[in-house]
Amino acid sequence: MSEIAVIGAGAWGTALAIHAARLGHGVVLWARDPARAAKMAAARENTRLPGANLPETLRITSDAADASHAQLAIIAVPMQPLRGVLAMLPARLPAVLLACKGLETGSLRLPLEVLTEARPDLIGGVLSGPNFAHEVAGGLPAASVVAAADAALCQQAQALLSGGALRLYASEDALGVQLGGAAKNVLAIAAGIAMGAGLGENARAALITRGLAELSRLVVGLGGKAETASGLSGLGDLLLTATGPSSRNSSLGMALGRGMALFEILAGRAGVTEGVATAPALLARAEAAGVELPICAAVGAMLEGRLDVQGALKALLARPVRQE
């Protein structure tokens, strides 16, 4: 029996831990707060993933040293605290899969770039794709991508985690996979704005389609592969996040489209809406590479309060016509 450590007891980390335990692995799930870890262990549930029972074979801990005995570690924390969490982990760790999406504000680094800076001793890859945590925890069919420069890590992750209702595909384009996971959250906010403002299904379809074109330009402009943007970590994740009723980014966009202020929306949320912090970092990274992202730029301006819905719509529709 293989041992897998999941670092981060949010909804996604918990869902991955449940999936791994369902496959018969020994699983340890790390929560930073000892009191929360003890409560989860006693109740065999996580309030951040309602309705999902934690298997008895899943061990919950607040001691990061427990991860050092695993064959594979999955780090499932939000993007912004990733660097701090990496610094807390023990010196001895197996290869890691980063299951976070976005860019670090300030440094503009993607997840694997943060890993390289914070823990150059570790071999790392990323896990990304169109996956809602509650569906994976419930054993519903899903597919995802594991991407790494190290082919052996991809093969190990597929061998350990692909099974049951979850199918894992491998990719060598870790850069493109990470950019898809970051950009789709910003584009999903745009799709939500269109629906919240009553702009119609035509508008949402156009935003998703042209948003995919932006994502493809970004991937290629930064050195990734165009086809990655059309795969699970690009188009697949974008479709889920831009249309799924459980999407935090899309629902935030809908609230913005209805006229709510950003601070009001965020004040009523317990979970992290990654697209909010990602938007300015993504735009800065794209600008440095000479890549134009008009839809993402409109979202960024709305999040900062520089544009309202009508202003953003006018700016996008006034752009020069061009070949598709």
pTM of the shown model: 0.95
Close Cβ partners of 95 (under 8 Å, ≥ 6 residues apart): 72, 73, 122, 123, 124, 125, 150, 153, 156
Q: Are residues 7 and 49 in the same domain?
A: yes
**pLDDT tens per residue, range 70-110:** 999 999 999 999 999 999 999 889 999 999 999 999 999 99
Tell me the pairing of strands 3-7 and 26-30.
parallel
Work out the average pLDDT over 52-69: 93
Q: Report how far apart, in Å, the C-alpha atoms of 9 and of each of 46, 59, 104 are.
A: 8, 12, 20
Note the pLDDT of residue 21: 97
Note the pLDDT of residue 323: 85
Domains: count for the chain: 2
Work out the average pLDDT over 250-270: 93
Rounded (10°) CA dihedral 281, 284, 286, 290: 180
**pLDDT tens per residue, range 175-220:** 999 999 999 999 999 999 999 999 999 999 999 999 999 999 999 9
Q: Is the pLDDT of residue 1 over 70?
A: no
CA 113 to chain centre: 15
204 with 191: CB under 8 angstroms?
yes
Q: Domain containing 208 — which CATH number? A: 1.10.1040.10
- The phi, psi pair for 147, rounded to 5°, reads -130, 135
Nearest residue to 163 via CA among 322, 324, 4, 300 = 4
Q: Which of 39, 101, 184, 314 is catalytic?
A: 184
Q: What is the DSSP letter of 320?
A: P
Q: Are residues 86 and 206 in the same domain?
A: no
Note the pLDDT of residue 183: 97
Boundaries of domain holding 296: 175-317
Sequential DSSP letters for 26-84? EEEEE-S-HHHHHHHHHHTB-TTSTTPBPPTTEEEES-GGGGGG-SEEEE---STTHHH
Note the pLDDT of residue 110: 98
**Is position 314 annotated as part of the catalytic site?**
no
Q: Are residues 144 and 206 in the same domain?
A: no
Asked if residue 128 belongs to a domain, the reply is yes
Q: Domain containing 142 — which CATH number? A: 3.40.50.720
Asked if residue 323 belongs to a domain, the reply is no
Residues 211, 205: Cα–Cα separation, whole Å: 10
Note the pLDDT of residue 95: 94
Q: Is the pLDDT of residue 287 over 80?
A: yes
- Which segments within 76-141 are labelled E, that is strand? 96-98, 124-128
